[in-house]
Structure 1
Amino acid sequence: MLVASQVFEAGHPDCQVRMREIQLADPLGPLREGVVDLQVTEFPVDEPDITIGPVALSQRRGMIVPSGHPFAKRDSLSVEDYADAVMIPLVGDAIPQAWLDHR
């Protein structure tokens, strides 16, 4: 089965796709520094030096938990369900303010 990068490269032989993981601590840094030419990221992005292109994919948020976690057997969760859950926080000077406000 071909992956999206192979399909793109087949149609654009002068281009090469390399995947790179973007760290949450500095989600827009590699784009700003020219380390990456294109980034698929989560909205909202409200940065004066970043141009937003068309939406490539859209899906609802999901939560990842171990199979033994109480949330694992639930079909859905509300914001109130998260109140006592330990979460990975978004912190740091490089986190876009729009992301922090959105969450």
Structure 2
Amino acid sequence: MDKIEVEKIILEHLTNNQKTSTDEIEGAVKKVLRQRGTIGPQSRPQYGAVLKWDERITDEDALLINEVIYDYLYKRIITPGVNSDNLNLPYVHVSDETKLNNRKVEIK
């Protein structure tokens, strides 16, 4: 995945979930990777048997997710907290919907 692709997935998630968490954002990207067959259960025939394993997200993709989250925090598209009981990370909310929508237009 490249950064723009990760960002598009995160933008879609934030559009539909204005109060969320960094774990849920990461989960949205992982869901797409699972749907593509990039991560999750894998198998292949080998020597008359079937070799099975669980493919994990690559370090590069995991770091890209964090990079986009921190870019959005820095640009104040998202801000920590979702309510008075959960004011800190990992909880975040969309703090500037205009910036969010502008970014969606910029990367189309």
Same fold (TM over 0.5): no
What TM-score range do you get, normalising by the shorter chain?
A: under 0.3
Q: Which has the higher strand share?
A: 2
Q: Which has the higher helix share?
A: 2
> Structure 2-normalised TM-score?
0.23
Larger Rg: 1
